[in-house]
């Protein structure tokens, strides 16, 4: 921070404090937030949602995964298949019921649920002036709330993933290779970053919108817009701004398609989905396209006999991770700037 160090000499009327400024106010705030979250109704919702996200796909696809593990001798990366294989013909809204897609769907909601009332909640309780008048920086408040919420969600996420891995090993007899464990770990990290993006959005809303209920609604709206209708809306926009004449050349058509593709890829949802697929599926050679059912899985295996090595996969998803972090940083900075200039009074 830009805050200056203590002055050389203090005026005589001011006793020198032996008590140091707590060096990290955000740690104190984060710790309180964790305590609050863990004892809140939100936490129960978090447990149920992530539990279902793991339980349902696992339940539906367990039989297939078991078959895969026993029949397809030498099938590679069967452990990770637990995350990306869903039950045949069990797609809801064209989303394959896989653990990965469920988590991808729920992560934004969790992020928003844990942050939408972070600052406006303090404001409506009347605790904000008191909090800000303590010797902490204003950004400590935002940082602490972000860190606390992220810690709680991450903890539950990691626990659930460990539970799934345990289930796979004990009930299905699938033993992961080291590479698979690393991939899973990386995927969890990317998922946490993705949750962070939505937490940052929730924080921004909680700063910008005075009423918690309104900010929750706006958060839900953004989720619907980006996660559910994201691609559709992007295409609609591009079609609106760039009109390809009916007799346009194939070249022009292609350009528009490429533009659509490019913009869609900038959506955090797309970034996350693509990164997930590459990380959880060693067969993925490009970041486009998804693998869903067992049939597709078998096909893919026949098409590309060799697996991508870990560093090849990382190379593929590195831009995605960077882009996600960048989006999070922008949202965070917006929340921060907004909060800095805001009146303390309601």
Partner 1 sequence: MSGAGRTESRSGRIRTEPPIRTRALTKQYGDLNAVDGLDLEVRAGEIFGLLGANGAGKTTTILMLLGLTERTSGAVRVVGFDPARNPLEVKRRVGYLPDAVGFYDDMTGRENLRYTARLNGLKGQVAEQKIETVLDQVRLSDRADDRAGTYSRGMLQRLGIADALVKDPTVLILDEPTTAIDPIGVVEILEMLRGLVRDRGVTMLLSSHLLTQVQSVCDRVGIFAAGKLVGIGTVPELATRFGEGDAHVEVAFEGVSDPATSDRVAGFLAAIQDVAEVRRATSLLDPWTLVVRPPESAIRVREAVLAVSAREGLHLTSIRSVVASLDEIYTKAVRAAGLASGSHRPSGDRPAAGGRAVA
Ligand X SMILES: Nc1ncnc2c1ncn2[C@@H]1O[C@H](COP(=O)(O)OP(=O)(O)OP(=O)(O)O)[C@@H](O)[C@H]1O
**Max Cα separation, the chain?**
84
Q: Collapse the DSSP code of 93 into the 3-class scheme (helix H, G, I; strand E, B; otherwise coil) and give the result.
A: coil
Task: Name the β-bridge partners of 92.
Answer: 95
Contact 144, 25 (CB under 8 A): yes
Residue 18 interacting with ligand X (CB under 6 A): no
Minimum gap (Å) between residue 126 Cβ and partner 1: 2
Catalog residues that contact partner 1 under the rule CB under 8 A: 3-4, 6-15, 17, 19-22, 25, 28-29, 32, 125-127, 129-137, 341, 343-346
Which of the listed partners (ligand X, partner 1, none) does 44 bind, with a CB threshold of 5 to 8 Å by partner kind? none
CA distance 241 to 86: 38
- The smaller minimum CB distance to ligand X, of residues 52 and 346, is found at 346
Minimum gap (Å) between residue 11 Cβ and partner 1: 4
CA distance 133 to 178: 50
Contact 84, 97 (CB under 8 A): no
For ligand X (CB under 6 A), the number of binding residues is 2
Closest CA to 110 of 40, 214, 181: 40
Contact 344, 292 (CB under 8 A): no
Contact 332, 146 (CB under 8 A): yes
Choosing from 228, 302, 343, 344, the residue that interacts with ligand X (CB under 6 A) is: 343
CA distance 231 to 265: 9
Which of the listed partners (partner 1, ligand X, none) does 16 bind, with a CB threshold of 5 to 8 Å by partner kind? none
Minimum gap (Å) between residue 2 Cβ and partner 1: 9
Q: What string marks each residue from 285 to 324 as x (binds ligand X by CB under 6 A) or -?
A: ----------------------------------------
Minimum gap (Å) between residue 144 Cβ and partner 1: 10
- The smaller minimum CB distance to partner 1, of residues 38 and 192, is found at 38
CA distance 346 to 342: 10
- The smaller minimum CB distance to partner 1, of residues 90 and 342, is found at 342
Which of the listed partners (partner 1, ligand X, none) does 284 bind, with a CB threshold of 5 to 8 Å by partner kind? none
The helix (H) or strand (E) run that includes residue 227 is none
- The smaller minimum CB distance to ligand X, of residues 162 and 346, is found at 346
- The smaller minimum CB distance to partner 1, of residues 61 and 131, is found at 131
CA distance 209 to 203: 10
Which residue sits closest to ligand X, CB atoms considered? 343
Contact footprint for ligand X (CB under 6 A): 343, 345
């Amino acid at each position: 921070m830009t805050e200056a160090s203590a002055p050389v000499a203090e005026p005589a009327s001011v006793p020198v404090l032996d008590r140091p400024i707590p060096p990290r106010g955000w740690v104190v705030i984060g710790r309180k937030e964790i305590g609050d979250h863990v004892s809140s109704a939100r936490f129960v919702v978090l447990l149920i949602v992530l539990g279902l996200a793991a339980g349902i796909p696992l339940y539906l696809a367990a039989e297939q995964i078991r078959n895969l593990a026993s029949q397809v001798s030498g099938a590679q990366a069967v452990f990770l298949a637990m995350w990306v294989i869903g039950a045949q013909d069990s797609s809801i809204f064209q989303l394959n019921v896989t653990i990965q897609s469920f988590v991808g769907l729920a992560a934004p909601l969790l992020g928003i649920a844990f942050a939408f009332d972070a600052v406006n909640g303090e404001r409506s309780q009347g605790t904000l002036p008191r909090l800000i008048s303590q010797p902490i920086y204003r950004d400590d408040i935002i940082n602490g709330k972000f860190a606390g919420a992220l810690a709680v969600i991450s903890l539950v996420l990691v626990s659930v993933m460990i539970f799934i891995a345990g289930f796979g090993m004990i009930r299905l007899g699938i033993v992961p290779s080291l590479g698979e464990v690393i991939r899973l770990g990386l995927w969890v990290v990317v998922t946490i970053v993705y949750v962070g993006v939505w937490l940052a959005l929730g924080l921004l809303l909680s700063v910008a919108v005075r009423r918690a209920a309104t900010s929750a609604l706006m958060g839900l709206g953004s989720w619907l817009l980006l996660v559910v209708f994201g691609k559709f809306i992007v295409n609609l926009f591009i079609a609106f701004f760039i009109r390809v004449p009916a007799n346009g050349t194939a070249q022009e058509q292609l350009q528009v398609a490429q533009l659509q593709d490019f913009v869609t890829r900038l959506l955090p949802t797309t970034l996350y989905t693509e990164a997930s697929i590459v990380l959880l599926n060693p067969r993925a050679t490009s970041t486009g396209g998804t693998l869903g059912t067992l049939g597709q899985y078998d096909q893919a295996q026949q098409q590309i006999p060799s697996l991508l090595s870990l560093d090849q996969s990382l190379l593929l998803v590195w831009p995605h991770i960077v882009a996600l972090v960048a989006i999070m940083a922008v949202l965070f900075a917006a929340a921060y700037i907004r909060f800095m200039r805001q009146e303390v009074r309601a």
